[in-house]
Structure 1
Amino acid sequence: MRARLPPNSKRPAKRVGIGMRPPVNPHAEAWIRQGDAGALNKGDCYTARLTLDITPALRARIKVSAFTQGVTVADLLRGLLEREFPEHRKEDTP
């Protein structure tokens, strides 16, 4: 247990100097940037959030299906929507 200092006593402040910035490690920088390669490039693909109200039972079925396919729910639903609403549909062309 520490002894308490009286309220009026002044404790010398500890100062910790901030040293020079460490040199950049090119391997570490490459490793950090490597994680960005698998992600969607925001410049290439714009995204928009879509909110749907569904029943808890449907949500559970979607989650089970995504799990058994080894994908995320978002990826499963994106694929489903892409198949149902392709960018160029035959009916849309004259």
Structure 2
Amino acid sequence: MTAQSPPNSKRTAKRIGIGARPPANPHAEAWIRQGDADALNKGDLYTARLTLDVTPALRARIKIAAFGQGVTVAELLRGLLEREFPETRTENLP
């Protein structure tokens, strides 16, 4: 089934090709890939996402505390979790 143009349409049936892709610019490609490397380096530190339901009041307190410390909410919570759950904790060892 082919689509037909409305009777008053000024569109012609002629198709125009897009053409060949222009040659790649190596400097542009390197610049684009640099952004990928920066994102990977940042992502290497924090690779898991947690979802936590909190009350609006608690969320407000967390945001105010983060603002007061001059950090983002994510940075504040990462620090809190690192302090609470250090990498080497003697009480967790068998």
Aligned partner letter, 1:18 = I
TM-score, length of structure 2 as denominator length: 0.64
Number of residue-to-residue matches in the alignment: 90
Q: What secondary structure does 2:21 align onto? A: coil
Tell me what 2:26 maps to: 26
Q: What secondary structure does 1:38 align onto? A: helix
Tell me what 2:64 maps to: 64
- In structure 2, distance between residues paired with 1:25 and 1:77: 42
Q: 1:52-73, CA deviations, whole angstroms, 9 ceiling, x for partnerless residues?
A: 2212122112223333444432
Q: 1:6-45, CA deviations, whole angstroms, 9 ceiling, x for partnerless residues?
A: 728784134221211111112211221222233245x956
- In structure 1, distance between residues paired with 2:29 and 2:9: 48
Are 1:89 and 2:89 counterparts?
yes
Larger helix percent: 2
- In structure 2, distance between residues paired with 1:40 and 1:13: 48
TM-score, length of structure 1 as denominator length: 0.64
Aligned partner letter, 1:57 = A
Compare 63-72 and 22-31 and name the one that shifted more. 63-72
Once superposed, which parts of structure 1, at least 4 consecutive aligned residues long, lie more than 6 Å away?
A: none
Shift of residue 85 of structure 1?
A: 0.6
The CA RMSD over aligned residues, in Å, is 3.4
Identical amino acids, percent of aligned pairs = 82
| Closer/same/farther in 2, CA of residues 63 and 37 from structure 1, 3 Å limit | farther
Tell me what 1:51 maps to: 51
